[in-house]
Structure 1
Amino acid sequence: MFTPKVGDVVNRQPVTLTKDSTAYEALESFHASGVRIMPVLDNQGKPSGSLSLLRLSETYLLPCAERQREIRTSLAALARTLSSGVPLSPADEGIETFNLFIGAMREESFSGRIAEYEPASLMIMTGNRRTIQQAAIERGVGLLVVTGGHAPDEDILAMAVANGVRVMLTPHDTATAAWLARLSTPVSQVADQSFTTIGIGEPLSHLRQKLLKSGEAALFVTEDDGTLAGVATKSSLLAAIPYGLILVDHNETGQAVPGAESVEIYEVIDHHKLGNNPSLTPIAFITAPVGSTCTLIAARYRESGIEPEQRIAALLLSGILSDTVILKSPTTTGTDRSTAEWLATISGMNAADFGREIFAACSSLKHYGTPQKVVAADFKHFTHSDKRIGVGQVEVVGFDEFAVMKEELLACLAAIKQRDNLFIAGLMVTDIVSETTLFLVEGHTRIAHEMRYPQLEPHLYELKGVMSRKKQMVPHLLKILERL
């Protein structure tokens, strides 16, 4: 199935945060990148949360009287945010909840202000105010932050050690330090734990469905092991698919690889009747009534003044010989013959001998393996008005093997007719020596009256001189459809 995948449009270099990133670091990333949502990753690189600029803004800007002083952070995150050089132990990674007070008043007033709070929950922030520092330590506060780069006196530090009070120094002034402290909360504490992921190999249509269903601004795209691969948004759906198709030897998406309608068709090189869907943009469409598309491809080499390599020339020659049944098919043109001559010269091969080798190698039905593979090997669908038909073709030397497999082949055609909802399902078995085709068909009961070729037995017709599906068989069947 040729289907665009999520990985074709996803941003594979997303801006991310770790669970230990602070709100301040998140704001810096939002400002620098211009994105509006970022995934929060765990230690394995897997999404553990989602943080949007809106959610972060609401957390810090919406008024909330009961939480104005509250700061949830770890000493490690706080020290990093305040540019503190204090050595930290692993235990300092734990999240704590503090009530922040600024020591900017007289000691008596300050002590009264903090008296109603549990001492261990207090974060006292002050400059070089000895009386405030001493009062905070005597009360046994959870943390004393000394601002302005002023180290406390030795006796104050000794008192802090004795009372089990942690002290942190910061070069920032008190106003800046207070603002930064509030933004020291790890994003794991404010991120949304509810988010939607999508696998990088999932069809692009799944992304569209999930974006609409979830209502989220972005989905996190994951690798098979669950690690983040990228971020997909609605704008990802507008991104150009980084590849397209060139249809060669057909021009209908119904005959193309499954999923062809999902990508842009860049070019068509074909020699069949036109049945293509309209293209959204102008494309190169090269078609001509020749016996083989390989003739058209060889012509492009000649038009460009390029001589194909010997092996490419041999490959193109084999295509022409196969399509035109060694230049015997009614579809064969003078252009096919002259092109085959040119390619034979380059490849150093005799076209007639090479053609016989090709058909000798593939004319045995046993070569295909199973009856199903015989039918499916070159089976094409065609549409006329509201009716669809399917016709396969194999070339043989003699009909002995076909006689043995006939009933199994007919059963395969019946199954395909039902599966694909076809009006007619047929198989051309063409003997390249006698230039005769036996046509095995499963279809409408009136076909027997309309075929106008000798019927050898039910479902089987002899078509002498018929070798081309495109130029003889399909036009005949389409006329039958018009009469039914």
Structure 2
Amino acid sequence: MTGTSTLRPQSSVLSPDTVWVVGHQNPDTDSICSAIAYAALRRALDLPGATPARLGPVGTEAAAALARRDLPAPALLTDVRQRVADVMNPSFVTVGHDATLYEAGQLMREARKRLLPVVDEGERLRGILTVDDMADRYLGEMTVEAAHRVPIALDRYLRILGGQLLAGEPGREFAGRIWIGSTQVATLLHEVAPGDLVIVGDRENAHEAALRAGAACLIVVAGRAPTGAILALARERGATLIVSPHDIYATARLLNLSLPVSEIMRPGGPTIDPDDLAADASGALLGPGTRAVPVVDEDGRVQGILSRTDLLRGRRKRVILVDHNHRSQAVDGLDEAELLGVIDHHNLGDLRTAEPIPFILEPVGCTATIIAEHYALAGIEPEPPIAGLLLAAIISDTLLFTSPTTTGRDRVAADRLAALARLETEAFARELFEARSDFRGTTPRDLLLGNLKAYEFGGASLAIGQAETLSTAYFDERDAEFVTEMERLKAEGPYDYALFLATDILRGSSVAIYPGPPERRLVVGAFAPADAGTNRAKLPGVVSRKKQVVPALARVLGGR
């Protein structure tokens, strides 16, 4: 039975199941299209998080292939190093800076969190509150906190007390001393001053004494409502009168716990950006008593929490490589990622893995051919847009079957894909090659770096750029500029040799442009061209960098 693959739109939010399917640096059409097609196949088979990616700008030819079906380009991937966003805990609870200590403690207990980011009304970080801060506060308490140091906000207190307000306005604040009314009435009359707060039992004479002494707030505990005379006296003197359902101890404790978390939070502590490297984030966790730190974005809003445990158990990014298997051409940070597989049609590179992985290298003209065969083996028929991308890659890599890398398998795959995509192969090829030959707004440096591959043979490093075109006129007019850019490239690399191939698709030949005598000797030794000049040589019949140029140069360099 034949299944169907599914195209999915790109998402900026990646799940923990994300597997990057990515081609080489300076991506060509095969690299772009194969990443999209293979990701679609693996999503249909076994990897729902398979996501295509690219390591550079999309070339004009690949852009034309994508535009034909109105498909988005793969996500641009800068590296696969482990970031804070990859390992942080995105499940977090914040507390408002005006919440009470009691409410924060309840939140910690219910959510089983040892750290709460404290945020303002705009959800921006103001500080952090830890369970250690709460414990230190609790153990350090010997008295009820004096309200003159931190005013008691009546609305916060009533919120956690669950008491009944009999007289006074809920928006008041009290800044006087706090008294526990277990003393003699005479003592209350002598000690209580105007503006003070008094907590007392159901002793009417104590109620009256406190109010006549000028108490701003009287709290009667144990749910015992005061008499009408006391209520009238409180109103007469403009005092607040509250009935607490708790005993004296709990009522007094809740006064301290009604303070805002901003009073004991740690302001200005360490934070981490989600895009920071996980390896660099450990320094923020080395401070005494620092078990975890908030992860905040550029606007100061909390995105997660990072703990030492998160760093230890953080999952590496997962990657599948297509159309390459050389470390020098791969995504940065590959050594820090989990490589799940390779599917390619180039020579064996220098990758190493700790465990066995599927490593598919096939001697065909294009990686897309291998992927098309894998669709068939899986019994899945690619949708027309996917089939069109695979066909575009085969046309591009084989130069419409004129490259010596072309095999019968490429032709069979292309015929099947053309039927599925409902495309006429030669007309589609002309469309792609015209797009590839459009160099408007492109500089020689862009072309040199846009399809550059690096190699090492016989201890010598070699960089080879290539551009395929319907006409080499652009390159004929800019020899000197290409020479300048290759000299610059050799210094920046650094490379021992640099070479650029301008390949004429229709004539099946190339022009080699090079910066100086070392490269001229290399080209002469490899191809013996009849007209090797100071900076260029015609190479009739040479179109394939992989099949014709690299092996010939490798033989010369290896025999130095």
Q: Fold conserved (TM > 0.5)?
A: yes
TM-score interval for Structure 1 and Structure 2 normalised by the shorter chain? 0.7 to 0.9
- In the alignment, which residue of structure 2 is the partner of 1:168? 242
Task: Give CA deviations for 1:202-223 in whole Å, capped at 9, x if unaligned.
Answer: 5555544544589843332334
1:440 corresponds to which residue?
Answer: 513
One-letter amino acid of the counterpart of residue 188, structure 2: S
- 1:263 Cα deviation (Å)? 3.9
Aligned-partner Cα distance in 2 for 1:105–1:350: 101
Name the residue aligned to 1:40: 118
Structure 1 313/249 Cα, relative in aligned 2: closer, same or farther at 3 Å? same
TM-score (normalizing by structure 1): 0.87
- Specify the code of the residue in structure 1 equivalent to 2:505: I
The Cα shift of 1:80 comes to: 1.6
CA drift of 1:290 comes to: 1.1
1:55 correspondence with 2:133: yes
1:83 alignment partner, one of 152, 162, 173: 162
Counterparts in 2 of 1:38 and 1:255: CA distance versus 1, 3 Å: same
Partner of 2:226: 152
SS of residue matched to 2:351: coil
- Specify whether residues 223 and 400 from structure 1 end up closer, same or farther in structure 2 by C-alpha distance, changes over 3 A only: closer
Q: Does 1:466 align with 2:538?
A: no
Q: Which moved more, 1:18-27 or 1:162-171?
A: 162-171
Counterpart residue number, 2:106: 28
Structure 1 residues 135, 251: CA separation in 2 closer, same or farther (over 3 Å shift)?
same
**Any residues of structure 2 matched to 1:144-223 within 5 Å, and which?**
144-204=218-278, 207-212=281-286, 216-223=290-297
Q: Which amino acid aligns with 2:534?
A: P
Cα RMSD between the aligned structures? Answer: 3.1
Provide the secondary structure at the position in 1 that maps to 2:182: coil
**Where in structure 2 are there 5+ consecutive unaligned residues?**
1-77
Q: 2:453 aligns with which of 348, 356, 380?
A: 380
Does 2:347 match 1:270?
no
Give the drift of 1:367. 4.8
Larger radius of gyration: 1
Distance (Å, rounded) in 2 between the aligned partners of 1:95 and 1:290: 84
Deviations 1:298-336, CA, capped at 9 Å, x for gaps: 011110112223333232122112111221222222222
Letter in 2 for 1:419: E
Specify whether residues 79 and 384 from structure 1 end up closer, same or farther in structure 2 by C-alpha distance, changes over 3 A only: farther
Structure 2 counterpart SS, 1:449: helix
What is aligned with 1:478? Answer: 554
- Deviation at residue 253 of structure 1 after TM alignment: 4.2
Alignment correspondent of 2:305: 231
State the secondary structure of the residue aligned to 2:241: strand
Deviations 1:256-309 (A, max 9, x none): 344555543333211112325323554332221111001011011110112223
Query: Do the aligned partners of 2:399 and 2:505 also contact (CA within 8 Å) in 1?
Result: yes
Q: Is the 8 A contact 1:417 1:442 kept in 2?
A: no
Task: Judge conservation of contact 2:174–2:195 (CA < 8 Å) in 1.
Answer: no
CA distance change for structure 1 residues 287 and 169 in 2, over 3 Å: closer, same or farther? same
What TM-score, normalized by structure 2, do the two folds share?
A: 0.76
1:447 touches 1:480 (CA, 8 Å); kept in 2?
no
Instruction: For residues 402-427 of structure 1, give each alpha carbon's deviation from its aligned partner in whole angstroms, at most 9, with x where no partner exists.
Output: 21011112222222222222222221
Query: Runs (4+) of structure 1 moved beyond 6 Å?
Result: none
- Residue by residue over 1:10-35, the C-alpha shift from the partner in whole angstroms, topping out at 9 and shown as x without a partner, is 43442111122111112212212222
- CA–CA distance in 2 between the matches of 1:146 and 1:393? 89
* 1:125 shift after superposition: 1.6
1:330/1:468 contact within 8 Å kept = yes
Question: Amino acid of the residue matched to residue 74 of structure 1?
Answer: A
Counterpart residue number, 1:328 = 402
Give the total of aligned pairs.
474
Amino acid at match of 1:35: K
Counterparts of residues 101-116 of structure 1 (less than 5 Å): 101=180, 103-108=181-186, 110-111=187-188, 115=191
Q: Deviations over 1:443-470 (max 9, x none)?
A: 7x54433431336212323333322211
Deviation at 1:247, TM superposition (A): 1.6
User: Cα offset for 1:368?
Assistant: 6.5
Residues 1:248 and 2:327 aligned together: no
Which structure has the higher relative contact order (CA within 8 Å, separation 6+)?
2
The structure-2 alpha-carbon separation of the partners of 1:146 and 1:417, relative to structure 1 and needing over 3 Å to count, comes to same
Choose the corresponding residue for 2:92, options 10, 14, 18. Answer: 14
- By how many angstroms is 1:128 displaced? 0.8
Q: 1:325 to 1:31 in 2, by over 3 A?
A: same
The whole-number CA distance in structure 2 between the counterparts of 1:212 and 1:459 is: 58
> Which of 291, 302, 306 is the aligned partner of 2:376?
302
* Structure 1 unpaired stretches of 5+: none
Identity across aligned pairs (percent)? 31
- For residues 212 and 26 of structure 1, what CA distance do their matches in structure 2 show? 25
1:410 to 483, 489, 493: 483
Check the 8 A contact 2:144/2:255 in 1, yes or no.
no
Matched residue SS, 2:477: helix
Return the alpha-carbon distance in structure 2 between the equivalents of residues 214 and 471 of structure 1.
60
Per-residue Cα deviation, 1:148-175 (whole angstroms, up to 9, x for no partner)? 1111112222223334432221111223
Q: SS of the residue aligned with 1:119? A: coil
The 1-side partners of 2:158 and 2:458 are apart by 76
Residues 153 and 171, structure 2, Cα contact 8 Å, conserved in 1: no
